[in-house]
Amino acid sequence: MKVGFVGLGIMGSAMAANLLKAGFSVSVWNRSVDKCAPLVELGATVAASPRAAAESSDIVIAMMATPAAVQSVRDGSEGIVAGLSAGKGYLDMSTVDGETSVKSAMLAHEKGALFLEAPVAGSRKPAEDATLVIMAAGDRVLYDSSLPLLEKMGRKILFLGETGNAARMKLANNLVMCGMLTALSEGIALAAGSGLDSAQFLEVLDSGAVSNPMFRMKGALIAANTEFPVAFPLKHMQKDLRLALQLAEEVGQPLFATATINELYKTALAQGLGDEDFAAVSRVIRK
């Protein structure tokens, strides 16, 4: 199976590398060409455009940061859709709104191609370790044929039905993750500010019902107020909060805590923390 991979950011580069290590033939494209070099060393070829990546592959995968970025590589004379034809597959693993995925599916179907949205839960390390949780929705035939690819990138793969369901599931997932990280940051700040030992506070959390991998990964770094390795940029997490609130508005669901947390993330962006890991939001909370 020939695979095209468009978008080689923190996540995409690791995911494409896993496909190459698994023996797939992969052509890659990225706006900054220098990011292709490590993958070329693993055996990838470089496509001249997103269209070329689609034309040369059986399945083309996109992993972009925002809906606007998806549109920029999807549309136009050199976009992915222009390179699709009957029987090909278009697999978008970006985190976007459901409407963007539905539009991608419509455009792919107009070319006789199949479409699958497949956003992921996980950040840099799970992407590198191929332990992502993959939420897929769209054409079941493409899901079945792309499983050999998905299994080399994730440890848990779910098929959620019609296009748009996976996008909505991912936004709900990230909403919860943001809330947890915010609560952790506030708990650490309160414990330290009232004279408690932060390490003991984290030990208490890890011994009880709220114990989880993210707290273990981020807690000590937040307590130390140190630099955070960028696993998930804060600006992308705020984008996901914005999309979740947009979805909530559409369906008439109040999101009281999420609306407040979004304001916190917007403050972090205004303070220049957008390119740092989303745990850097703790610096806005810290007194």
Where the chain has pLDDT below 70, the residues are none
Q: What is the pTM of this model?
A: 0.94
* Rounded CA Rg of the chain: 20
> How many C-beta atoms lie closer than 10 Å to residue 186's C-beta?
14
Q: What is the dihedral of CA 237, 239, 240, 244, to 10 degrees?
A: 140
**Burial code of 3-13, b = ≥16 C-beta within 10 A, e = fewer?**
bbbbbbbbbbb
Q: What pLDDT, on a 0 to 100 scale, did the predictor assign at position 287?
A: 73
Q: Which residues contact 165 (CB under 8 A, 6 or more apart)?
A: 98, 137
Q: What pLDDT, on a 0 to 100 scale, did the predictor assign at position 21?
A: 97
CATH homologous superfamily for 2-162?
Answer: NAD(P)-binding Rossmann-like Domain (3.40.50.720)
Distance CA 9, CA 93 (A): 12
Three-state DSSP state, 232: coil
Q: What pLDDT, on a 0 to 100 scale, did the predictor assign at position 179?
A: 97
Token reading at 72:
């920029």
Q: What is the DSSP string of 198-225?
A: HHHHHHHHHTSTT--HHHHHHHHHHHHT
Question: Which amino acids are annotated catalytic?
Answer: 170
Element spanning 56, H or E: none
Distance CA 41, CA 234 (A): 30
What's CA 45's distance to the chain center, in Å? 24
> How many C-beta atoms lie closer than 10 Å to residue 118's C-beta?
31
Distance CA 81, CA 50 (A): 9
Report, at the CATH architecture level, how domain 168-285 is classified: Orthogonal Bundle (1.10)
Amino acid letter for position 120: V
Domain segments of the chain: what residues? 2-162, 168-285
The string of pLDDT tens digits covering residues 35-91 is 999 999 999 999 999 999 999 999 999 999 999 999 999 999 999 999 999 999 999
Q: What pLDDT, on a 0 to 100 scale, did the predictor assign at position 261?
A: 98
Distance CA 161, CA 59 (A): 20
Q: What pLDDT, on a 0 to 100 scale, did the predictor assign at position 272?
A: 97
- Taking CA atoms, 197 is separated from 185, 206, 209, 225, in Å, by 14, 14, 20, 14
Distance CA 180, CA 187 (A): 10
